[in-house]
Amino acid sequence: MENQNIKKTILSGVQPSGTLTIGNYLGALRNWATMQYDYNCYFCVVDLHAITVRQVPAELRQNCLKTLALYLAVGIDPEKNTLFMQSHVPAHAELAWVLSCYTMFGELSRMTQFKDKSAKHSDNINAGLFTYPVLMAADILLYQPDLVPVGNDQKQHIEIARDIANRFNGVYSETFKIPEPYMPKAGARIMSLSEPTSKMSKSDLGDGSVFLLDSRDVVIKKIKRAVTDSGSEVKYAEGKDGINNLMSIYSAFTGKSFEDIEKEFDGKGYGAFKLAVAETVADSLSEIQDKYNVFISDKEQLNKILIEGAQKASYTAEKTLRKVYRKVGFYSVK
């Protein structure tokens, strides 16, 4: 077996703000389960980020455990990876403060996600929403990762993390490894079923998102109601956002190419295609849900994973933090 010390390090995480969707699964979690064999992986539940938007405390606590249980249910092995809760490792918040002093106001002002979230939550444009990318930079840089799996919507956050790291290294000498964004080829960008020009979201409580814990009936109902164009030909083409999205989902779950899908449904129309997509997704989610139900019912085991994960994560994170504190001139009695 390859020595873990010579494996490249990867870090990624998902917010526990709501139940994960098939978009989270196909775009991230499924790839993580594959990466765990080839990389030294840190996968966290990023609960500190979740509170930039108001959360119901009891729901947030439950969603944190649900997210961890779903990590396990899709095949992420706590023996092979470091699984932890972001708030259980204080170094995240501590490094974020130091890095905020090396991040320019103008850089944060240009972040598109801040503009988008400010528009959606105009009654709560808080400082945390503005400095979110600094905390994300701390999340990443603490573990000195080589690669950070990201979607297109997060590329800007990796770029600012690299800028902050380069700036700090330039002032104090080599301190942080400069991480590269990693976009797995197998990843799929899944769009909303009701608005196929927008990404599928955990916060969409309508019919636009299929959640990993949706029942079979709900999955089938949502996919049957998915928005499509006025045609009936199952063909991937520009301007057919709805049918393109359904083809992407079907392709991701079955491994079939768009060409294969077009041949399979030649002359059959949208109705037959939607049903096939719905049943394929429901069957796959049923397997995940069976495993999830086992994990979520064993809180003691989940807590054990989190305690051990926080210890492992803290060991690495605190080494980086101590180095940073020494470089900036903080006095230590140790």
- Please tell me which residue in 66, 199, 240, 274 is annotated as part of the active site: 199
Torsion from C-alpha of 87, 62, 202, 32, nearest 10 degrees: 60
Q: How many residues does the chain have?
A: 334
Q: Give the single-character DSSP code of 148.
A: E
Q: Does residue 304 carry a catalytic annotation?
A: no
10 Å CB burial of residue 165 (0-12, 13-18, 19+) is buried
* 3-state percent helix, strand, coil for the chain, nearest multiple of 5: 55, 10, 35
User: Coil, strand, or helix at residue 55?
Assistant: coil
At 324, the amino acid letter reads: V
Q: What is the DSSP letter of 192?
A: P
* Nearest of 41, 65, 98 to residue 316 by alpha carbon: 41
- Pick the catalytic residue: 117, 222, 240, 274? 117
Half-sphere exposure of 140 (CA within 13 A, CB side): 29
Q: Residue 310 half-sphere exposure, CB side, CA atoms within 13 Å?
A: 15
Rounded to the nearest 10°, the torsion over CA 193, 196, 201, 204 is -60
From the list 3, 13, 31, the residue with the least C-alpha distance to 252 is: 31
274 tagged catalytic: no
In Å, what is the CA distance from 195 to each residue of 64, 167, 207, 230, 242? 28, 40, 10, 15, 8
- Kindly give the pairing relationship between strand 9-14 and strand 40-45: parallel
d(CA 31, CA 267): 34
* Number of helices (H), then strands (E), in the chain: 14, 5
Active site residue 263: no
Query: Which residue of the set 8, 66, 177, 202 is catalytic?
Result: 202
> Which residues are catalytic, by number?
117, 199, 202
